[in-house]
Amino acid sequence: MSNFLMWCKKRIIALPTFLLANIWLVIVLAPIYFMVLSSLRRQGTYVTANPWVPSGPLSLHQYSVVFHAGLGSYLLNSVIVTAACVVLTLLLSLVAAFRMMRGTSRFSGISLRLIAFGIAVPIQAIVIPLYIIIDKIGLYDTLTALILVMSASAIPVSVLIMISYVRDIPRELLDAMAADGAGEWRIFFSLIVPLSRPVLATVGIYDGINVWNNFLLPLILTQSNSTAVLPLGLYKFQSQFGIDVPAVMAAVLLSAIPLLVLYISMRRQFVNGLSGIAMR
């Protein structure tokens, strides 16, 4: 009898959490459901039909419309820029965190202060000097300019997150590998990188979302349609298909799919990384 009462007590205590979780799930899924359903309608049925109930002919016509309008090119540019920025940022940030953790000279401390100072300077405050520099070196209206500038802007936060994680790796492991004759790069790739997978996933998703959704830098540093990324493409679609809501919904939904795939593929490492960072 006591076990049954204990079981009931646990269920009663967990009931508010269960209800709140389901309410939050409905809040999150409702806009996604609305967006998917709207993207499958045509403009005429979108205006007249109930927006929450599937009715009338549903088709993928709007997806064909936005792809013919250039969404595929914008999507490809965003994938290239985001992937390059994430890889470059993670590699440079982890190398910097490793060297600062291993270094004992004043240079390591000065480097850390300079990187921390980079967080205090918002990218919006230096867009004009960035534009002038990029134009002077001949990289204006190129994806290379976006990759370099976005990676540089993401490095300060990434380094500060990673260095707190790398510092907790037992130094005995590093000393043991060094005693066996392993060099700095061997230690980095064989020990630091595998042990840092959770924080790499966390920082990678964080930086990937920021790069993917960045609107200001592509607006300032690019001009032609051939180098436009998704945020600029969606802005153009809003002007082009302002009346055709289903077409805009289809474009927005397609722009969110890569981020969803990124999170699903790295969610376990992401949660582990957040747990590890929170406990430090």
Q: What pLDDT sits at residue 90?
A: 94
What single-letter DSSP state applies at residue 227?
G
| Cα–Cα nearest to 143, from 66, 88, 209 | 88
Secondary structure of 120-178 in the HEC alphabet?
HCCHHHHHHHHHHHHHHCCCCCCHHHHHHHHHHHHHHHHHHHHHHHHCCCCHHHHHHHH
Q: Do the beta carbons of residue 186 and residue 174 sit within 8 Å?
A: no
Q: What pLDDT sits at residue 104?
A: 62
Q: Print pLDDT tens along the chain (280 aa).
A: 566 667 666 677 777 888 888 898 889 888 888 888 888 888 777 766 677 777 777 888 888 888 888 888 999 999 999 999 999 999 999 998 888 877 666 777 777 778 877 788 888 888 899 999 999 999 999 999 999 999 999 999 999 888 888 888 888 888 888 888 888 888 888 888 888 888 888 898 889 989 999 999 999 999 888 899 988 888 877 776 666 788 888 888 888 888 888 777 777 766 665 555 544 5
What single-letter DSSP state applies at residue 243?
S
Q: What pLDDT sits at residue 93?
A: 92
Max Cα distance, the chain (Å): 80
